[in-house]
Every structure is written in structure tokens, then in C-alpha cells.
Amino acid sequence: MATEPAGATDARDYFFSLAAAMRDLLARDEVFTCEWRGEDSTFIRFNHGRVGQSGRVRQLQIEVDLIAGRRHAIGTLSLSGALDADLPPLRDLFAHLRGVVGATEEDPFLSYNTDPDAASERIASAVLPAGGEVVEAIATRAGGGDLVGIYAGGDIQRGFANSLGQRNWHSAESFHLDWSLFDRHGRAAKASYAGIQWSAEHLARKMAAAHEDVERLHESARRLAPGKYRVFFAPAAVAELMAILAWDGFGLRGKLTKTSPLLRLQQGNAALADAVHLTDDIASGAAPAFERSGFARPARIPLVENGRYVESLVSPRSAMEFGTRTNGADGDEAPQSLDMAGGELDVEHVAASLHHGLLVSNLWYLNFSDRPSCRATGMTRFATLWVEHGRVQGPVDAMRFDDSIYRMLGSNLVGLTRNVDWIADPDTYGWRSCRTARLPGILVDDVAFTL
């Protein structure tokens, strides 16, 4: 009698057994590729420093691409984890896709890996707390304050198989905790903690820093006139800047269609500061070492070195369209595990290094105000603080910046922190995201604020 997979190894074995059984569903000259998605996650929501909702989500899904020549169709199916229960709906899915394939036109950029030896496996366990430990740690360190947040942690699985015999498996445990502490006026300090090794001491330091920021919010917020200010962007704010750069900024398609915000950098007509090094570091992140068509991802892909463009992320479709080789990028050609090298600034002495200016912990509502010149605009958020003579004076009202990232990471970059934060994408819509980043804080001169 079939049973539900109990863990990463059981899930892997079940997926591979399912893929083997699916070969019997093929008609002559058909090929299939399929992607497995699974997770076993604990979610805990907090409100007013207490548990508002908790639960566990276990879900399995398979996405099948049925291919006949250069025609294909894709369908998804949620799974029970029992072979005898899952094969009948899979049989129906194949029959439906076969009808769609017969009615579609050929896809000139269809690309899937045909090397059955491109197998890989990664099962990465982590030190994760039990739900009760999370609740106790957060409730204790919230200290009765108005804390709102969410914890998500557990195993995320990705797999690939095709009818040619290729098998790939990825299972990695991780967690992220995002929270805000509010003062009596409704102003908040936002913080996050993510990783693969839970540390109560690390959480305590993060929570203490958030409490300290909330205490600073008790002062009357000052309103600064529009102008140029020296700014320290914390790693969470840097993550927002990197997120918009990922909109075509690192991919081959954006470069060759000239929609990339980093086009001048990619063409060698502009440079960032020598201290800027960006890598898609799959080996140290939580993303799988393969993409949905079965192509492998290198352990590290250098994107920018010494402020100069090195290499683009190339999806299989872009490789087919533009006549080059893929390096396993997803369709959006965005980094999966972006790593930005740190510098020489000490986190403990950031205010002293800033001297006069703004400490910006978060940014929001970012977009491009002038994409060809890589000019971005956005709002400061939560605990943005004013510093004079190296000492924090108090909070600042929300402001809008509008400046070129070529200046912020180039000519006006003063330094980067030695320490880098491991930041997990908090997206849990449908599935927990595998994307992560390791980012320092940055100190920048003369950032333009317009409002």
C-alpha cells in the first residue's frame, strides 16, 4: 500500500518512481520533462507580540511539459504522495496535454536538456527550531511590545526528471522571520532574521537593535528639505536596490534587446566602484543547482567584478534565440543567490563613519525613474534616522530619493560593511521562495532626495 513521503529522501524516491511510471503514459515520439515542487513548512503569525495564527503546510506538485517535435504544452497537478492515487489524474493530464500539443504551433525557442548524465543531488539539513521554541523566543524578546511578524521555516524541495532518464533533486531547510515593532504613535522599526542555523543569541541581538530603534522613534520626527545627503543603506535597503536591478539588469535578453537598466555597464560605457563584486552564488544559497528544463547551474556565476560587467545570466530560451549557451538561469534571468562582497566598514561604527546624514534601514515603492540611466526612485520606510557628529539624533519623516545607481554604487560609493546579511526572499505566495541574497550595508555620498 502506498504511503505519503515522510522526508526529503522519501520524497525524492517517490518522485523518481513517479517519473519512471510516467514513461508508460507517452505515445510514440513524445518526450516529457517535469519539475517537482514540494515543501513542509511551519508558519507562525504574530500580532501584539502574541501568536495570531500557526500551522503547518505540506504540499506536493508536479509540472509536466509534454513535447512532440517542436510542439509542447505544460500542465500542473497537485499530488497526494501515493502512486496509486496520483497516476490516474496524471494519465488524464497527459491526455489533455496531448490534445493541446496537437493544436499548437511549433515553438522556435523550445529548449530542454537532452543529456541524461546531467544528474545532481543536494539534501541540506539545517538547525531549525520547533514551533514552540520560536514562539517562546519571540514572545520573550518582544518584551511586551507591539510586535507584528511572520515566521516561516522548513524543507523546500525541487526536482527535475525527463523521459530520457535525467534525474535531479534538491532539498534544503531554511527559515525566515520578518517582524516590525511599533511605538505608541504607530511608527515602526522593521527587522528580519533568516538562515539555515537558528541562533537564539543572534535573534536576541536583532531584536535588541529593533527595540533600540523604536526607542529612538519617541523623539519628534524632523522634516528634512529636499537635497543631497550622505546616507548609510542597511542590507535590507540594499536588497531592495538589487531587486530592481534584477528586472532585466543581469540577463542576456535585457542586454541584447537593450532593455537592461545596466546596459551601459554591460556595453563597457560605464563602471561601478572597484569595490563592487556581484556573483550568483548557487553553492551557498538555497536555490537548486538546475532549472526547470533540466540545465545545470554553475556553482558560481560572476556578474560584476571590480565594478566591471563580466557575464550575463542566460536562460535556455535566450540561449536558443540568440545562439549561445545557457548557464541555467530561470526565464526571468534574475539571480537566485546574489552575493555582494563586503568591504571594510565596521557595523558598530557606521554612525561615526556617516558623521552627518541618514541611516536608512528600509526602502519601499522602488521603481525606475529613468531606466536607460539606471536612475531609481523610492521611499524611505520605518526607522530612518538622522545622524549629527556621529551620533543618532532621532527619526526623520519619510522621504523620496531619486538617483542613479551608477552613482550610488559607483562614483559616490564611500564604502561597504565588512559583515554581510543573509537575506531570504520572504515571498510565500503559493510556495516559499528559494531565492536568497548575501548583502552588506553601503555608505554613499550625496544621495538626491526630491521630497
Neighbouring C-beta atoms of residue 273, cutoff 10 Å: 19
Q: What is the pLDDT at residue 32?
A: 98
Mean predicted lDDT score pLDDT of the chain: 93
Task: Give the 3-state secondary structure of 164-208.
Answer: CCCEEEEEEEEEEEEEEEECCCCCEEEEEEEECECCHHHHHHHHH
- 335-348 average pLDDT score: 96
Q: How far is CA 332 from the centre of its chain?
A: 13
Per-residue confidence band for 7, with pLDDT thresholds at 50, 70 and 90: low
Partnered with residue 181 across adjacent β-strands are 147, 189
* 286 backbone dihedrals φ, ψ, rounded to 5°: -110, 5
pLDDT digits (tens, 9 = 90+) for 262-280: 999 999 999 999 999 999 9
Asked which of 140-149, 286-295, 353-362, 400-409 is least confident by mean pLDDT, the reply is 140-149
On whether the CB atoms of residues 324 and 335 are closer than 8 A, the answer is no
Map out the domains of the chain as residue ranges. 8-213, 219-449
The three grid cell numbers given for residue 197, joined into one nine-digit string: 542555523
Is the pLDDT assigned to residue 174 strictly greater than 70? yes
Q: Are 313 and 291 in contact (CB under 8 A)?
A: no
Judge whether residue 4 has pLDDT over 90.
no
- Classify domain 8-213 at the CATH superfamily level: PmbA/TldD superfamily (3.30.2290.10)
* Per-residue pLDDT at 1: 31
pLDDT over 70 at 250, yes or no: yes
The predicted pLDDT at position 447 comes to 97
Residue 437 CB coordination number (10 Å)? 26
Q: What is the pLDDT of residue 177?
A: 94
Mean pLDDT of 424-446: 94
The helix or strand, by DSSP H or E, that contains position 406, with its residue range, turns out to be: helix 405-406
Quick check: 2 pLDDT over 50? no
Place of cell 536568497: 436
Alpha-carbon gap, residue 288 to 124, rounded angstroms: 11
CA distance 77 to 290: 21
Tell how far CA 442 is from the center of its chain: 19
Contact present, 436 and 421 (Cβ < 8 Å): no
Would the pLDDT of 248 be above 50? yes
pLDDT in tens, 124-149: 888 898 999 999 999 888 888 889 99
pLDDT digits (tens, 9 = 90+) for 290-306: 999 999 999 999 999 99
Tell me how far CA of residue 426 lies from CA of 49, 69, 338, in angstroms.
20, 39, 15
The pLDDT-based confidence of 5 (bands split at 50, 70, 90) is very low
Which residue from 427, 285, 291, 277 is spatially nearest to 341, judged by alpha carbons? 277
Instruction: State the cell numbers at 423.
Output: 537575506
H helical segments located in 224-372: 235-245, 252-256, 263-266, 316-322, 350-354
Which residues contact residue 267 at a Cβ distance below 8 angstroms, ignoring those fewer than 6 apart?
Answer: none
Place of cell 534525474: 167
- pLDDT above 70 covers a percentage of the chain that reads 98
Q: 103-115 pLDDT, tens per residue?
A: 999 999 999 999 8
How many Cα atoms within 13 Å fall on the side-chain side of residue 299? Answer: 4
Rounded to two decimals, the pTM is 0.93
Distances from the Cα of 297 to the Cα of 102, 136, 449, angstroms: 32, 39, 40
pLDDT score of 203 more than 60: yes
Looking at residue 236, what is its pLDDT? Answer: 94
pLDDT at 240 over 70: yes
Q: Specify the pLDDT at position 9.
A: 77
